[in-house]
């Protein structure tokens, strides 16, 4: 029987991305899959974009009563406040494999319902590389907000950093930030300095690219990766820059890159931190200077430590939503080859490894 993919509507506030774009959904149907789309009221993609391709659209939230053999696919977490057992096989970013807050509660829902989690974050090819990720657009958006924060403090002082909104494309985002940067540079008489950790990865490359497209001089874009962080933190070099964009993906503990003590340094220039990785409750968080996430409605958390000047921290866990269509198109296209392998899932390593990891995490949770 052909696999049945059921795209559930996202419920996270301000989330406009999708795991299955209309183009990819149609390709799956053309390859014999059954695809059901929930009504996407908050998505950057209209339901009509699916129906005009002949796809079936059903009311949002009806995945709970989907056929037992349907794969329920989405991006972000399942609706909050629901602790019912999960009976289906789910494909999404669950954020529970690195012992984040509430990780056992999430896994217990699958255990109680005899369901399965195939976590998008841990789908890897034979070379151990993730088959699909939002990293590039996360870094691109993170650099945009970091630089915009720097301009905001120069132009608007202590005023609250305003709500941010998604953009239709990269060019619109660049133009928006560039306009304010121009005025800030006239006042500051210089370009900002940005330090990017994890600069060689997908996420870091997106951050670097945004800076380049803003025509920030190469010497003002400080690129750090494994070689530069090998000695172990904290790194006083970070506070010598205006903006710090963290793009490091961690699965094991390391010495923190930045602590509250560095914020009190009298020569600190750092005014904005963007933690793109944003594992706020991850015990391995390399930036333990904050303990709560931010959002599109309230993008920046102001950190005050002793007599040190305030520091802005952006910790939005769905940054690519700043560019929802472009980010979704890249991610969904990259995921497509693996989705096609669901037709022979038991012989597709990307899926068998994901299921084995799920079982391993159940054991670690004592379930």
Distances (CA, A) of 239 to 223, 263, 270, 293, 315: 14, 8, 5, 22, 18
Note whether 247 and 110 are same-domain residues. no
Asked whether residue 82 is assigned to any structural domain, the reply reads yes
Q: Is residue 175 part of a domain?
A: yes
Cross-strand partners of 57: 37
Do the domain assignments include residue 129? no
Residues 109 and 167 in one domain: no
**Distance (Å, whole) CA 330 – CA 78:** 23
Say what the pLDDT of residue 42 is.
87
Exposure string (b/e) for 282-310, b if CB count within 10 Å is 16 or more? bebbbbebbeebbbbeebbbeeeeeebee
Q: What pLDDT, on the 0 to 100 scale, is given for residue 253?
A: 78
Distance (Å) of CA 57 to CA 37, 46, 60, 235: 5, 11, 9, 51
H/E run at residue 25 = helix 22-30
H or E element: which one contains 4?
strand 4-7
Tokens representing 72 are: 């329920």
Q: How far apart are the first and last CA of the chain?
A: 31
Task: Look at residue 277 in the predicted model and tell me its pLDDT.
Answer: 87
Residue 156 and residue 275 in one domain: yes
Judge if 63 and 139 occupy the same domain: no
What local confidence, expressed as pLDDT, does residue 165 receive? Answer: 95
Q: Beta strands 300-303 and 311-314: pairing type?
A: antiparallel
Q: What is the SS3 assignment for 202-214?
A: HHHHHHHHHHHHC
Same domain, 341 and 313: no
Distance CA 343, CA 348 (A): 9
- What tokens appear for 46 in the block? 């209209």
Does one domain contain both 19 and 36? Answer: yes
In order along its 367 residues, the chain shows pLDDT tens digits of 789 999 999 999 999 999 999 999 999 999 999 999 999 888 999 999 999 999 999 999 999 999 999 999 999 999 888 899 999 999 999 999 988 878 999 999 999 999 999 999 999 999 999 999 999 999 999 999 999 999 999 999 999 999 999 999 999 999 999 999 999 999 999 999 999 999 999 999 999 999 999 999 999 999 999 999 999 999 999 999 999 999 987 767 788 999 999 998 889 999 999 999 887 777 778 899 998 899 999 999 999 888 888 999 999 999 999 999 999 999 999 999 999 999 999 999 999 999 999 999 999 999 9
Same domain, 260 and 296: yes
The active-site residue, picked from 12, 76, 88, 90, is 76
Residue 167's domain is classified under what CATH number?
A: 3.40.50.720
* H or E element, residue 356: helix 349-364
* Confidence (pLDDT) at 101: 79
pLDDT at 58: 98
Give how many domains the chain has, as a whole number: 2
Residues contacting residue 151 through CB under 8 Å, at least 6 positions apart:
177, 180, 181, 183, 184, 192
Distance, in Å, from the CA atom of 283 to the CA atom of 250, rounded to the nearest integer, reads 10
In a domain, 130, yes or no: no
- Its domain, for residue 31, covers 4-122+324-364
Whether residue 97 sits in one domain with residue 10: yes
- Does residue 277 belong to any structural domain of this protein? yes
Q: Is residue 95 part of a domain?
A: yes
265: annotated active-site residue: no
Measure the CA–CA gap between 153 and 51, rounded to whole angstroms. Answer: 46
- Tell me, yes or no, whether 297 and 333 share the same domain: no
Predicted local distance difference test score (pLDDT) of residue 307: 84
351 and 228 housed in the same domain? no
In a domain, 127, yes or no: no
142 and 274 belong to one structural domain: yes
Are residues 195 and 97 located together in one domain of the fold? no
Burial class (CB in 10 A: 0-12, 13-18, 19+), 104: middle
Which secondary structure element, helix H or strand E, spans residue 227, and what is its range? Answer: helix 226-229
183 is a catalytic site residue: no
In whole angstroms, what is the distance from residue 167 CA to residue 318 CA?
A: 14
Of 12, 26, 88, 95, the active-site residue reads: 95
3-state secondary structure of 364: helix
Does a structural domain hold residue 239?
yes
Q: How far apart are CA 163 and CA 148, in angstroms?
A: 12
**Strand order in 71-73's β-sheet?**
56-58, 34-38, 4-7, 71-73, 89-92, 116-119
Note the pLDDT of residue 339: 98
């Amino acid at each position: 029987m052909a696999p049945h993919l059921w795209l559930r509507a996202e419920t996270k506030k301000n989330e406009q991305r999708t795991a299955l774009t209309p183009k990819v959904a149609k390709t799956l149907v053309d390859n014999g899959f059954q695809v059901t789309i929930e009504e996407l009221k908050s998505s950057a993609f209209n339901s009509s974009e699916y129906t005009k391709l002949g796809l079936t659209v059903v009311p949002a939230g009806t995945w709970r009563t989907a056929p037992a053999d349907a794969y329920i696919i989405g991006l972000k977490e399942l609706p909050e406040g629901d602790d019912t057992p999960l009976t289906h096989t789910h494909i999404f970013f669950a954020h529970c494999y690195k012992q984040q807050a509430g990780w056992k509660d999430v896994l217990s829902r699958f255990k109680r319902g005899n369901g399965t989690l195939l976590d998008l974050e841990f789908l890897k090819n034979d070379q151990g590389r993730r088959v699909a990720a939002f990293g590039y657009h996360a870094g691109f958006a993170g650099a945009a907000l970091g630089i915009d924060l720097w301009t905001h403090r120069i132009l608007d002082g202590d005023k609250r950093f305003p709500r941010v909104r998604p953009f239709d494309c990269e060019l619109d985002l660049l133009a928006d930030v560039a306009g304010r940067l121009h005025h800030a540079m006239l006042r500051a008489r210089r370009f900002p300095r940005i330090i990017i950790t994890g600069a060689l990865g997908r996420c870091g490359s997106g951050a670097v690219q945004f800076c380049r497209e803003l025509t920030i001089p190469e010497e003002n874009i400080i690129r750090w990766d494994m070689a530069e962080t090998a000695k172990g933190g904290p790194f006083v070099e970070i506070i010598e820059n205006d903006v710090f964009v963290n793009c490091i993906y961690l699965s094991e503990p390391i010495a923190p890159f930045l602590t509250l003590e560095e914020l009190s340094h009298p020569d600190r220039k750092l005014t904005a931190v963007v933690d793109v990785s944003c594992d706020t409750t991850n015990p391995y968080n390399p930036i333990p200077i904050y303990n709560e996430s931010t959002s599109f409605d309230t993008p920046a958390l102001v950190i005050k430590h002793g007599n040190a000047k305030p520091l802005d921290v952006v910790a939005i866990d769905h940054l690519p939503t700043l560019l929802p269509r472009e980010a979704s198109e890249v991610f969904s296209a990259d995921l497509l080859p693996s989705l096609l392998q669901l037709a022979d899932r038991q012989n597709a390593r990307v899926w068998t490894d994901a299921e084995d990891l799920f079982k391993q995490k159940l054991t670690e949770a004592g379930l």
